A and B are shown apart, each in its own frame.
Chain A
Amino acid sequence: MSILQYDFMIRALVAALFTGLAAPAVGTYLVQRRLALMGDGIGHIAVTGVAVGLLTGTSPTVTAVAVAVLGGMTIELIRQRGHTSADVALALLFYGGIAGGVLITGLAGQGAATLQAYLFGSITTISSADVWVTVVLAVVVVAVALGLSPQLFAVAQDEEFARVSGLHAPAYNIVVSVLAAVTVTVAMRTVGLLLVSALMVVPVATASQLTRSFRSTLLAAMGLGAAAAVGGLVLAALASAEVNVAPGATIVLVSLAGFAMAWPLGLWVRRRQRLVAPFVDPVGPETGDHTVVPESHEHQHGDDCGHPAVPHGDHVDYVHDGHRHAAHGSHYDEH
């Protein structure tokens, strides 16, 4: 493809690929905790970070990382200590972040035009140093998100249980917040602060239409995120010969198109599963309160069958797939 002959395009593709991998990896834990808008909240806070960079003359990326990490930890602390629900904690920082950012940008003598590159991304102006920072941070984020996945999964799934398992749940929650903050600032250059949350959440929503396990959701979301980021960028590059298309927008729209296709597919797959097994729920007492259990046995219950035996009157019941039953001629009686 002709667009690949430009260095800036190769840099943009590398940045998009790694952002697309890292954002859904963190986003999965946020969606699991029903904090899908957390990335958005951190994005708003990072606006203040960018403005601080503009005011002090340092790199806006560095100040944005610092402020976003502080903001992410603050959201978590307000949630844990402040007796405030997570969405209220997010809202507080949403508005503080964006107002502070606009105010400080004004103090720095800059206008909205300067902020625009950060709000909506400017992936094609990314420098090779920026690409390296993006790649390294994205690799760190993915490594932590996958390496600590049993712990992060347990804490996000059921915080109280995790605490009674001896896990330091607040620390793991802070880890997720910091990962989210780092991801937001990494993605700031590709899709922009206002759209970054889409890359964290939409691939996860798409993947979970078709997956049944957490691990497959996480991996599929990373794949979908990378595909959407690269695909959206290529689309924008191809279109830019005719019109001015922002890559951030096409990346998010490609991602949403994926969801729009997966949703009816997920409905169809679930419907088909119901048709394949229409009546007999093969397990559990939910089969109804019949006496005879409509199931075939691969073995005879006995001392060594592994099913818990319960003495019951003149015979012995066996606990099997959630019910207690005893052999009675050719079938099993429920007890």
Chain B
Amino acid sequence: MAVLGANGSGKSTLVRAMTGLVPMTHGEVCLFGHPLRRFRDWHRIGFVPQRATAAAGVPASVTEVVAAGLLSRRRPLRPMRATDRRAVSDAIATVGLTARRRDGVATLSGGQQQRVLIARALAGEPDLLILDEPTAGVDQQSQESFAAALEAVTQRGATVVLVAHELGPLAHLVGRAVVMRDGQVAYDGAPLPTDDSGHLGPAVHHHHHHHHLGDPAIDYAPVVTSPIDTPSRLAPP
């Protein structure tokens, strides 16, 4: 599922509301069928926040940053087990940074740091992967390897929610597109087949598609009911 739209159209706000990072004024978010308030299975979610860098004020190795992705599964004061270590090295291998795993994240390029953040989200083997503009400022080749990594994730049966300006090499992976405009959902449905650049035109039809591309996976996409939704999709009282 791709969330598209111009700057300031509310894409990030929508995704941040889905994850509980911003409170909702109206409506409700359901994750895996549970209201957000009572949601506890955080290990089923992988999140890649919109960030320019993976580095902070102190050096941290790629392995350490990616290992933070396992915290939703680990209890405090328990050491890492062998399976945890393997999950971390697998996630690093998926984004192709195995040779740099001991290096400080601050020494990596912007695109590589973005891949570290993606590996961190993948380490917990989430059923729902939410990415907020992961391809912003990443070159075409990195985007292609990133598309391959996402494809592997969806083949495992996970749902990917992706915020983007434009889809580029990711276009063929999208089964559902949500277009935001001025804080409203302007379109929600299958991606328009004629447009492969990701710039979707004005919404022509508002009805739901669930028969896209014969996708057999279970849909774990969060359900958001709120005034931002299009009027036609609100259930009659």
Listed in ascending order, the chain A residues whose CB lies under 8 Å from chain B are 28, 31-34, 36, 147-148, 150-151, 153-154, 156-158, 160-167, 204, 208, 211-215, 217, 282-286, 289, 306-308, 310, 319-324, 334
Contact = CB atoms under 8 A, between A and B. Distances in A.
B115 interface: yes
Contacts of B168: none
Interface in B90-124: 93-100, 102-104, 107, 109, 111-112, 115, 117, 120-121, 124
B177 to A, nearest CB: 23
Contacts of A147: 76-77
B77 A148 contact: yes
Interface stretch (B2-10, B39-47, B183-191, B226-234): B39-47
A289 B141 contact: yes
Contacts of A306: 93
List 7 tightest A-B contacts by C-beta distance, closest first: A322-B96, A166-B42, A285-B141, A213-B61, A164-B47, A154-B68, A321-B96
Contact of A322 (B59, B77, B97, B104): B97
7 contacts: A28-B58, A157-B60, A161-B47, A162-B68, A163-B21, A165-B69, A283-B96
Given A213-B102, A285-B142, A285-B145, A164 B42 contact: yes
Given A31-B57, A34-B57, A204-B58, 6 more contacts: A150-B74, A164-B21, A165-B72, A284-B100, A321-B98, A323-B144
A321 B98 CA distance: 7
Contacts of B99: 282-283, 321
Contact of B120 (A28, A32, A150, A161): A161
Given A156-B56, A284-B112, A213 B98 contact: no
Contacts of A284: 96-97, 100, 109, 111-112, 142
A323 B147 CA distance: 10
Contacts of B69: 165
A214 B60 contact: yes
B44 to A, nearest CB: 10
B152 A165 contact: no
Nearest to A160: B49
A166 to B, nearest CB: 3
B151 interface: yes
Nearest to A204: B58
Nearest to A27: B58
Contacts, number: 158
B77 A215 contact: no
Nearest to B79: A150
Given A157-B56, A212-B104, A308-B148, A283 B97 contact: yes
Interface of B: 19-21, 40, 42-43, 45, 47, 49, 51, 54, 56-61, 63-65, 67-69, 71-72, 74, 76-77, 93-100, 102-104, 107, 109, 111-112, 115, 117, 120-121, 124, 130, 139, 141-142, 144-145, 148-149, 151-152
A164 B131 CA distance: 12
A213 B68 CA distance: 13
A310 B151 contact: yes
A64 B178 CA distance: 55
A158 B58 contact: no
Nearest to B78: A150
A251 B168 CA distance: 57
Contacts of B151: 308, 310
Given A33-B56, A310-B148, A157 B71 contact: no
Contacts of B93: 306-307
Contact of B60 (A33, A213, A323, A324): A213
Contacts of A319: 94, 96, 145, 148-149, 152
Contact of B71 (A162, A214, A289): A162
Contacts of B71: 150-151, 154, 162, 165-167
Contact of A285 (B21, B40, B72, B139): B139
A307 B21 CA distance: 35
Given A28-B58, A153-B68, A289-B141, A308 B98 contact: no
A32 B59 CA distance: 8
A150 B68 contact: yes
B49 A158 contact: yes
Nearest to A307: B93
B134 to A, nearest CB: 13
Given A217-B59, A321-B99, A157 B68 contact: yes
A32 B141 contact: no
